[in-house]
Structure 1
Amino acid sequence: MEIESMVANCALIKAREVGNGGNRKGRSRKWKEFLRFPHINECTELENSIERDYYSLCVKQPIGKQLFRLFCATKSDLQHFINLLDETAEYEVTPDDKRKNFGKELMNKYLTSQFSRVRAIVDWELEKCSENIFSSCQKSVPQVCAFGSCRALHEYLSGAPFAEYQKSMYFDRFLQWKMVERRPITRDIFREYRVLGKGGFGEVCAYQSRASGKMYACKKLEKKRIKKQRGEAMALNEKQILERVNSRFVVSLAYAYETKEDLCLMLTLMNGGDLRFHIYNMGTEGLNKERVEFYAAEILCGLSHLHKKSIVYRDLKPENILLDDNGHIRISDLGLAIILPEENLVKGRVGTVGYMAPEVITNTYYSVSVDWWGLGCLIYEMTDGNPPFRRHKERLPRQEMERRVLEMIENYGKKFDEDTKYICKSLLAKNPKERLGCKYGRGSEVIKGHVFFKDINFTRLEAGMMPPPFVPDMIETECFKDLNVFGPRGTRTPDLDRSIVIPKTSSETPLIHRSPPEYGRLLNRFFKRRHRGQSAEPIYRSLSSQSTE
């Protein structure tokens, strides 16, 4: 058993290493066949049915955004607009002490631009901002103008430039990418490695895409176990919520498919371990103030994203907070999360004993207040090395644990400075109406303004520009640049040549499937489980909606 475990670990480590380098970067020898583009004339149905929305196609979707920028790079005037958008975005994440000077340089640069349309937009926004600046005395003119300039630039680009883009080979290539995304997914597309963990409905395994070399965590939900435990609604709820979520602070759903035995969710692979391991198994129990502040800020951003989607998480605990290769955290396991109804209140005793808020224990109606309670529990535990209402490894009956949550006042020792003690007390208020983040309906913005987060620039944090205080390792792959190739001097490649007539067959280019070898009757009985070509659902989270994290 130990040898098998060692072999499995070595295979996984080798897969991750190969995925970061080498000639194929962890891909199959036939990876281009897996991702082969259909001819553009095979995309006619999609071309006629796709919604032509500028913000959806050119701003929100990463691949669409990159292709639109490649188109703009062929037009000098449009490239000037893209440069201004990039520099405006850079201004937004510039440190406070340098932002004022950077903003002035930015405006002066584009006020003297040789392109009249750019000058007109900057002039108009500057005049409008100057009129409104007196109502916002804490902000400089560049700060007030930044959002208006971006909006005006996008309004212009969504007009004639967007119409011209739709007639270009770059939009045709976008249609090809979307056709690749529509192809069905089966387990044959992936290599399977060792089991990473087990849960109530199945196990989580490390998987690697044969096409891109990218590593995933495959959450397998056994159909028999789901049916036996009547967990159909919970499994479907988790998948539906993951489809809504797109945040660098919450695990992302890349694919979903089914086999004869399992429902499979392909999720972000988090190699850095869970927060519980880092609190209790890395030397002294608890974390230093820098790490507590950084992780709490990223958890706060993740919860804020969920709440904006009307999702209450309800199961915040160290085991559900995972670190990635770069040292950033993500919230995982959304099985107990729920989408708030229109009245914004739900009821139910769900969660983990010791981390459930008082309103959950008393079975009264609640909303996002339970997540702010959970954040307070995490900050306390990361700081002290113990949960707020019991000692680490202390075993208590459920009734006693719930009594302590409802009646006991948490103890603050020497590890707590004034700021940490202040935010914990505010988040662990027994009455949800008095809890930080629940007053005045302002939620996460109030918590972000707390003195505990004085060293966090949330704009830079949400842009992924703040370096984490602890980095396990770093491995990443991608294949967009390798596939997204056009002809010499901006010409079309053969697969983008609309003059070529394609025989009318299937509207989709099928994936390459290798027929299994013919075994004898006896061998067939032993190895019949090798036939894995079960039908699958389409991709639920497309390639273009994955963040390049």
Structure 2
Amino acid sequence: MELENFVANNLLLKARQGFSKKTGRSKKWKELLKLPPVSMCAELRSSIEKDFSSLCDKQPIGRLLFRQFCDTKPDLKRCIEFLDAVIEYEVTIEEEQREFGLSIINRFFKEVSLAYTYETKDALCLVLTMMNGGDLKYHIYNLGNPGFEEPRAVFYAAELCCGLEDLQRERIVNRDLKPENILLDDHGHIRISDLGLAMEVPEGHMVRGRVGTVGYMAPEIINHEKYTFSPDWWGLGCLIYEMIAGHSPFRKYKEKVSREELERRVTNETVEYSERFSEDAKSICSMLFIKDPSKRLGCQSDGASAVKRHPIFKNINFSRLEANMLDPPFIPDPQAIYCKDILDIGQFSVVKGVSLDTNDEAFYTQFATGCVTIPWQNEMIESGCFKDINENEDADLLSPEKHKICPSILRSRRNFFHRLFRRAGCLNIAPSEEREPTEH
């Protein structure tokens, strides 16, 4: 088991390193992936979205290409710089906004901003973004003494507030918040994962369901009562408590307790706090642990805004936090593996013994994330692939002489992207038009 872990960890670290400057990518690889000439993409004109928002804002590669184009036009370049400055102004701390706003006026007005899905023969594969930082449970219990210093716990709690606010804006209740389901990305920001128990709450309705993890389920779930988003605010309280105390609120570290006893404690007992909790930490946990969901913090009309206004977040600028402009208290080491046993992933990564019917097949088709997914575009840019495959081509590439010299290269380029876009449904070509380039 240890040898298998060692091998798996080494492979993971090697994959993270990507391509080194020494080895680079082969010429054959670059030639295969190089973008085709514009003349070969005429079919796309009739099928892709042509509005500015989609092409030049939502699509990362489109946004990058648009900015590269604007860089060649002084007037447009200045407009882009102004928009960037306005975006930066919106997330500037209040004490510096006036000075920053004046600098914008002086600068610009004196003269005239799920990863993938695919199918195999017998499975729908959902590919999530790789979170190299591991989960909060590992960090709480396996790196030094159990628990975090309060400022680190507060930072993660603030990011969780933002995540829950986004979910609730989409009418989604998570119902399974726990340290194992909170992951750290490469930069140390947290992500909420595993929405297997999440569900949509219709406007004006309440839902019922006894689901979740023992020890983290809210009293209304245990009592099989109706609810909307209240279980998630209870879950936030559990996470804050566990990050600071080093154990869950209703069970001591490594204490063995039956399910029945845990549920009894949740519904009947009051949480105790150690000296590690400040008055603000005690206050927010107590308000999130109110048994009656109608009186719980976050469950009134002001929702997440009320939680954000709690004094424990007095040092958090939520505008800058949501823009990823605040430095996390911990940045994962890219050369470290933040998990005890990498083989444990197999225990929950595959669901076996499931039979699919026509309704399932119809549902799975809704997972299509577009011809070229946003995460894929970001990965192409960040990994340097976009720069490699988008090199400027010689002006004589489309000449008849060039076609005679290397028709196979043109054919391979056309085939690669033709298959890519056609399979995604981006191209609608009549059978008579679907042919290979030929020599003249």
For the superposition of Structure 1 and Structure 2, which TM-score range results when normalised by the shorter chain? 0.7 to 0.9
Corresponding residue of 1:10: 10
CA distance in 2, matches of 1:494, 1:308: 51
How far off is 1:361 after superposition? Answer: 1.4
Question: CA 1:359–1:42 in structure 2 vs 1: closer, same or farther (change >3 Å)?
Answer: farther
Query: 1:140-219 to 2 correspondence within 5 Å?
Result: none
CA distance in 2, matches of 1:342, 1:434: 20
Question: CA 1:299–1:112 in structure 2 vs 1: closer, same or farther (change >3 Å)?
Answer: same
How far off is 1:275 after superposition? Answer: 0.6
CA distance in 2, matches of 1:5, 1:363: 42
CA distance in 2, matches of 1:493, 1:357: 68
Code of the residue aligned with 2:307 in structure 1: it is I
In structure 1, stretches of 5+ residues that fail to align are 116-149, 151-252, 514-536, 541-549
Corresponding residue of 2:415: 509
Query: 1:110-129 to 2 correspondence within 5 Å?
Result: 110-113=108-111, 115=112
CA distance in 2, matches of 1:394, 1:439: 35
Identity %: 53
CA distance in 1, matches of 2:16, 2:324: 22
In structure 2, stretches of 5+ residues that fail to align are 336-381, 427-440
Code of the residue aligned with 1:284 in structure 2: it is N
2:335 equivalent to 1:472: no
CA distance in 1, matches of 2:27, 2:157: 43
Question: CA 1:402–1:29 in structure 2 vs 1: closer, same or farther (change >3 Å)?
Answer: farther
2:150 maps to which of 272, 289, 303: 289
Aligned-residue CA RMSD (Å)? 3.3
2:141–2:246 contact (8 Å) kept in structure 1: yes
How far off is 1:382 after superposition? Answer: 0.5
1:256 maps to which of 89, 111, 117: 117
2:221 equivalent to 1:360: yes
Could you give the per-residue CA deviations for residues 365-389 of structure 1, whole angstroms, max 9, x where no partner exists?
2222211111111001101111111
Could you give the per-residue CA deviations for residues 516-538 of structure 1, whole angstroms, max 9, x where no partner exists?
xxxxxxxxxxxxxxxxxxxxx85
Q: Which has the higher contact order (CA 8 A, sep 6+)?
A: 2
CA distance in 2, matches of 1:40, 1:439: 55
Q: Specify the SS of the correspondent of 1:439.
A: coil
1:459 maps to which of 296, 319, 340: 319
2:269 equivalent to 1:444: no
CA distance in 2, matches of 1:396, 1:29: 61
CA distance in 2, matches of 1:493, 1:376: 65
How far off is 1:79 after superposition? Answer: 1.6
Code of the residue aligned with 2:295 in structure 1: it is E
2:106 equivalent to 1:108: yes
2:188–2:330 contact (8 Å) kept in structure 1: yes
CA distance in 1, matches of 2:62, 2:27: 27
Q: Specify the SS of the correspondent of 1:330.
A: strand
Query: 1:293-442 to 2 correspondence within 5 Å?
Result: 293-440=154-301, 442=302
How far off is 1:318 after superposition? Answer: 0.3
Question: CA 1:507–1:324 in structure 2 vs 1: closer, same or farther (change >3 Å)?
Answer: closer
2:44 maps to which of 43, 46, 58: 46
Code of the residue aligned with 2:283 in structure 1: it is Y
Question: CA 1:32–1:337 in structure 2 vs 1: closer, same or farther (change >3 Å)?
Answer: farther
Deviation larger for 471-480 or 389-398? 471-480
CA distance in 1, matches of 2:191, 2:398: 39
CA distance in 1, matches of 2:177, 2:396: 50
How far off is 1:56 after superposition? Answer: 2.2
How far off is 1:436 after superposition? Answer: 1.3
Q: Specify the SS of the correspondent of 1:322.
A: strand
Code of the residue aligned with 1:54 in structure 2: it is F
Code of the residue aligned with 1:13 in structure 2: it is L
CA distance in 1, matches of 2:239, 2:119: 35
Q: What is the TM-score when the length of structure 2 is the normalising length?
A: 0.75
1:310–1:339 contact (8 Å) kept in structure 2: yes
Corresponding residue of 1:164: none
Q: What is the TM-score when the length of structure 1 is the normalising length?
A: 0.61
Deviation larger for 331-340 or 377-386? 331-340
Q: Specify the SS of the correspondent of 2:260.
A: helix
Question: CA 1:375–1:461 in structure 2 vs 1: closer, same or farther (change >3 Å)?
Answer: same
How far off is 1:349 after superposition? Answer: 1.0
CA distance in 1, matches of 2:13, 2:19: 11
1:355–1:374 contact (8 Å) kept in structure 2: yes
Considering fraction of residues, name the structure with more strand.
1
Could you give the per-residue CA deviations for residues 232-267 of structure 1, whole angstroms, max 9, x where no partner exists?
xxxxxxxxxxxxxxxxxxxxx222123345432221
Aligned length: 370
Corresponding residue of 1:35: 33
How far off is 1:404 after superposition? Answer: 1.4
CA distance in 2, matches of 1:495, 1:404: 75
How far off is 1:493 after superposition? Answer: 8.7
CA distance in 2, matches of 1:373, 1:56: 38
Corresponding residue of 1:485: 391
CA distance in 2, matches of 1:493, 1:454: 62
Question: CA 1:483–1:36 in structure 2 vs 1: closer, same or farther (change >3 Å)?
Answer: closer
1:34–1:512 contact (8 Å) kept in structure 2: no
How far off is 1:539 after superposition? Answer: 10
How far off is 1:452 after superposition? Answer: 0.8
CA distance in 2, matches of 1:81, 1:108: 15
Question: CA 1:9–1:354 in structure 2 vs 1: closer, same or farther (change >3 Å)?
Answer: same
